Chain A
């Protein structure tokens, strides 16, 4: 069984855990945007990481999480953990 984490999953979790900035269109193409430009500071990402961990049953490395500066990078990071678990 392989589970894939998509950018749509991330948007949902961002909205649930940290809310959304009215000035930002989360539904647009945000994969390459910096989280700070999207209105999410480090604590919002900590909350987001925690929600991903408990929903997908994985444990994200803190340094790797901090290095994921864009939604695209975070999606890749989560998927690499999911793939490692599937092996």
Chain B
């Protein structure tokens, strides 16, 4: 049974909605800037990819606002856009025939911070009753489910950046188990002081102040990443169900695999290459079929090397075009990979690869990195890679729809 994507909902620092995001991504736009949400001057890292033009009140009912974190508001709106794009009205489907599976990196940190501040400074009476769920990892799945009446298989996946792909894979499993439609992906947002301090503990945040020199994966000057907020939600659908209702198909989620790296200090090799091989095998694809790789692009030298080696071993030196449009948005944690999946599907649709911005590719890596401008290409399939902090690796192959 094949699982296809029939709708995209995008909320990214470089654009709200698929069209704005894609136009800016092809133009090589960058949204990295000094944090505006709070004063970052006391922190070692001060840049982020913020979404600055989102007004929740314009999109969501008043009853939802006091009970939702920023990431949930963005996710609810992205879900609405994804269903609209798929021309699918969830309530028109049979009960239990449609579910929602999101990934989450940290939950609703900003909401949690405000409530913890109230608890600490004023007392327990001042903590919102909605704190019971508003911070929670599963809250985006829960609120999307309630708002749209999605009663089919639903869950949350927590594996940092890899989770964005693992959620899509879990949705594919549920569709193969008989659910017609699953909304899948992730929207993360934790650019608040508490979330910022938590992210700093990774030791992987760029401390540069120049947005054009701060996040440089595969560059000799790579020195960590810039975080961002946002992500994408995808309407995944059983192909027969999509065909029966005459839906537009962006492409097929053809293959997936995930692996865990060995613990630090072990002499076993990292496992990203294995994840790529297994995703290709799951898709029944050979390396030559892949027209573009959307890289994880950690911008930490040893992680860049591991990813470049994995890609080179599978596809050969400079054997496949590689890109990382997340250089324009920052790393969106769980939201990053679903956004890359959306970009990959749009690449297949338009026959064009969006550029990696700012990076000057290092000669150390034998990668054909697409930089500077979008590149025309005849694309049949794309590979999206995501790695999570703690050793998670995940890879997904998407294929262009068969010509009709």
Contacts and interface: CB of A to CB of B under 8 A. Distances in A.
Interface of A: 15-22, 39, 43-44, 46-47, 50, 53-54
A43 B132 contact: yes
Contacts of A21: 61-63
Contacts of B130: 43, 47
16 contacts: A17-B66, A17-B128, A18-B63, A19-B61, A19-B62, A19-B63, A19-B66, A19-B67, A20-B62, A22-B61, A39-B63, A43-B130, A44-B129, A50-B129, A53-B125, A54-B126
Contacts of A47: 66, 128-130
Contacts, number: 38
Contacts of A50: 125, 129
Interface in B301-329: none
A53 B131 CA distance: 18
Nearest to B122: A54
Contacts of A54: 125-126
Given A43-B129, A47-B66, A54-B126, 4 more contacts: A19-B66, A21-B61, A53-B125, A54-B125
Give the most central of A15, A19, A43, A44: most B CB within 10 Å. Answer: A19
Interface of B: 61-67, 125-126, 128-130, 132
Contacts of B65: 19
A54 B65 CA distance: 22
B129 A46 contact: yes
Contact of B63 (A16, A20, A46, A53): A20
A50 B123 CA distance: 12
Nearest to A59: B125
B128 A22 contact: no
B291 to A, nearest CB: 47
Nearest to A18: B66
A44 B363 CA distance: 59
A74 to B, nearest CB: 16
Nearest to A24: B63
Contacts of B61: 19, 21-22
Contacts of B63: 18-21, 39, 44
A54 B63 CA distance: 22
A22 B65 CA distance: 12
Contacts of B128: 17, 47
Nearest to A17: B66
A36 B126 CA distance: 24
Nearest to B61: A22
Pairs of residues from A and B, 4 with the lowest C-beta to C-beta distance, nearest first:
A47-B129, A19-B62, A54-B125, A46-B129
Contacts of B66: 16-19, 47
Contacts of A17: 66, 128
A41 to B, nearest CB: 9
Contacts of A44: 63, 129
A17 B67 CA distance: 9
A53 B65 CA distance: 22
A46 B132 CA distance: 12
A20 B129 CA distance: 16
Contacts of A15: 62
A59 to B, nearest CB: 10
A50 B13 CA distance: 37
A19 B66 CA distance: 6
Contacts of B132: 43
B64 A19 contact: yes
A85 B152 CA distance: 50
Contacts of B67: 18-19, 43
A25 to B, nearest CB: 13
Nearest to B133: A43
Contacts of A19: 61-67
Contacts of A22: 61-62
Contacts of A46: 129
A26 to B, nearest CB: 10
A44 B129 CA distance: 8
